[in-house]
Amino acid sequence: MEMKPLQNLLTLCLAFLSIQAFAQISHEGVPSNWNEKELSRLNVEFVQTDLLDLELLQAEDAVTDEYKEVPYRFGQEWEVAFNLENSGTWTTLGNGDRQWTLGIECLDATSISFILDQFKLPKTAQFFVWNDDRTEYLGSFNHTNNKDWGSFAIGLVHDDKVVLELIEPAGVAGESIVQVGTIVHGYRSIARRAEQAYEDANRGPFGNSGNCNINVNCPEGDPWQVEKRGVALIVNGGSAVCSGTLVNNTAQDGTPYFLTANHCLGGQNNWIFYFNHETAGCTGNTGPTNQSISGSILRASNGGSDVALLELSDTPPTNFNVQYCGWDNSDDLTVTETTCIHHPSGDLKKICFDNDPPYHASQGGAAVWYIDEWELGVTEPGSSGSALFDQEHRIIGQLYGGIAACSGNVNNGQPDWYGRFGVSWDGNSASSRLRDWLDPLNTAQTILDGYPEGFVTYDNDAGLGGFTNVEAIVCGSVIFPVFNLTNFGTQPLTSVTINYYVNGALLISYDWNGNLEQGQGEELTLPLTNLQDGDNEIEVILTNPNGIPDDNEANNSTSVEFTAFAGPTYEYSMTLLTDEFGDETTWEIQNESNVTIYQGGPYEADTEIVETFCLSDGCYTFTIFDSFGDGICCGWGDGSYQLYTHLGFNFASGGEFEDSEEVEFCTDDLSVNDQTNVQRLIVYPNPTDGNVTVQLPLNAEKMTVTNALGQITLTQSLGASSSSVQLDLSALPAGWYQVTVQTNKTTTTGRIMVK
């Protein structure tokens, strides 16, 4: 494509209109001189893209728009290579900072967007994109927007002239890398302007769907206002590629897993995911484009069910108000009706309904749910990848293809087919199945409701919230497992039978009695459990809540697998204080075989982290990393780390390094001498909010609690016949404490963390 520089300078408006909300996750700051009432003319170099051949584009779109599997194109992509060296204008500002600007004009464009195929900013640098009439800008983007894959996609600016601006402080001059690789000239609403003026006036920024589609905020969509918040439009360059849905996982921790179709894949590192792109009411053709995420990582895909699971590069912030939708992986033919929420032809969010049961079939070599026809609404190109929900509002598949479409104001009565979620659940490896990602707790659940809001409620529903104090590695051969019993039902929970299994054998079965209202929970401690050396599994199964069968058995069991060391072990610990850029800090501990047994990070800024490690006899290497290469002290805060033995002795510390720093140590060097006449103490629950139980050795006489500085915070005399004692540590500041119990012959110690 030939580029033509404009001879005239950019004339800036003397006053600007209301600023639209930022279209992507961005950070503080505004473009230079944005708030000035009077602006001098800036020396912005403009380049102009070629004119579009609208007749050719129209002819191509008329063909591809008929196929659901083909992305819905709304813009022409121009491949370029504009960077900080060969394009734009550099200006030195009054404070010594440097400013780079480059203007882009796409004649008659409805929008302009970009893929920066090279993007790496140093700390304190800022990048903006703003429009000619200074009513809209995106940014600032900074070094936290740097992606591992080195590129960065930027969403729509609604104008035909925009300016790219980089502010580079003097201290990091010359360190920025920015190159524009693709310019997307949005055209769809200007194509066929003369003969389709009415249709174009009702077209959204990414496209327009048929008249039989139903806006998600029409009355028909009222029961689906929770699930709709998980649905997003996927844009890749100049095409509305597909639709997809945020999906919940059994940890219910808000990991941004995103379900779409395998055939949609290609360039997902630079996809932009637009959330809440919908009209406010039942009618209308405009919706916001101000809530989006740039970039994703492929976690799993499989053509056998046309499934793809992505992890978004950023977690949608709170103001997006997203929902992580629930699922059913049973693949049972018990579905009575289905619903799909999607973005047909890149349009605003729509909804469609089939009131008949779908059935299993094979289509194009993939295992699918077959929809004979929709009763209300329809799908179109751009709907691919959108979730199919069952009558319980759980995902059972994602759109693979079909020939359903509008025929005037009604649909054409033709079928669609969806890859089956239950088939996608299992596969040969984590990269070809869903269960590793969506069931990280290995609960073997077949159904899971949404997060943070669930839809289905039951009258009689006792559930388990998982174990709260069982780590992946247990230091020693005994634990006191703690789990959460929760009443999810509408009726009060007054009794339930708890069955406790250890390594497949029933250890105990007992009846719990109490009174929990809906949503209330109670932490329960299971009996002392002796573990085998190596791999272990504990499981709890609930039965007979309130003396009757549970209405919802899906949450009646929980299990956890872990490794226990029955031989000599030592609980080492680390405290870490991050600097202002905690997202650059990671660490690991490797054993003598160079196998990583513990790791952590990245973290939030200026955050204190406490970690414990169970180490058997041997030698280890602790390594702390900084991805930016400037350590954690002292240019951007006073970050530091400290390593402690099981008795609280500090044997290594630091913070000033570049890319990484290593500490090598052996447990026999640091711990054996400390073990003289010292035995380990059982303290639980650990960590604690304050109330703990200390299991005492025989003939215990005195107990003390000391903080990390060795200061005594509690002293208590003990009766010789006492086997345990209850402590209330809730008044103590959060942190690590050592509990020491003395008898007439020995000293016994344990460590506990107060949260």
Q: Which residues are catalytic?
A: 263, 306, 384
| CA distances, 4 to each of 11, 104, 477, 609 (Å) | 18, 10, 74, 54
Within 8 A by CB and 6+ apart from 100, the residues are 84, 88, 89, 90, 91, 164, 165, 166, 168, 178
CA-wise closest residue to 523 among 485, 467, 488, 481:
485
DSSP strand pairing (747-754 vs 292-294) = unpaired
Task: Give residue 493's Cα distance to chain centre.
Answer: 33
Cβ atoms < 10 Å from Cβ of 495: 15
Longest dimension (CA), the chain: 99
Return the structure tokens found at 256.
């941004």
Q: How far apart are CA 488 and CA 518, in angstroms?
A: 5
CA-wise closest residue to 178 among 102, 116, 88:
116
Within 8 A by CB and 6+ apart from 8, the residues are 46
The 3-state secondary structure of 479-539 reads: ECCEEEEEECCCCCEEEEEEEEEECCEEEEEEEEEEEECCCCEEEEECCCEECCCEEEEEE
Q: How far apart are CA 388 and CA 87, in angstroms?
A: 47
Within 8 A by CB and 6+ apart from 531, the residues are 474, 477, 478, 479, 502, 564, 566
β-partners of residue 712 are: 706
Return the structure tokens found at 300.
């799993």
Q: How far apart are CA 362 and CA 32, in angstroms?
A: 57
| CA distances, 259 to each of 55, 273, 323, 460 (Å) | 36, 12, 13, 32
Would you list the DSSP string of 695-732? EPPTT--EEEEEETTS-EEEEEE--TT-SEEEEE-TTS
Residue reference for tokens 């008795």? 647
Within 8 A by CB and 6+ apart from 726, the residues are 691, 692, 693, 694
Spatial contact of 329 and 447, defined as CB atoms under 8 Å apart? yes
Within 8 A by CB and 6+ apart from 94, the residues are none
CA-wise closest residue to 156 among 258, 292, 9, 32:
292
> Measured on CA atoms in the order 420, 421, 426, 430, is the torsion positive or negative?
positive
Q: Where are the beta strands (DSSP E) in 518-616?
A: 521-525, 529-530, 534-543, 557-565, 569-577, 585-590, 596-600, 608-616
Cis peptide before 452 (omega within 30 of 0): yes
β-partners of residue 137 are: 130
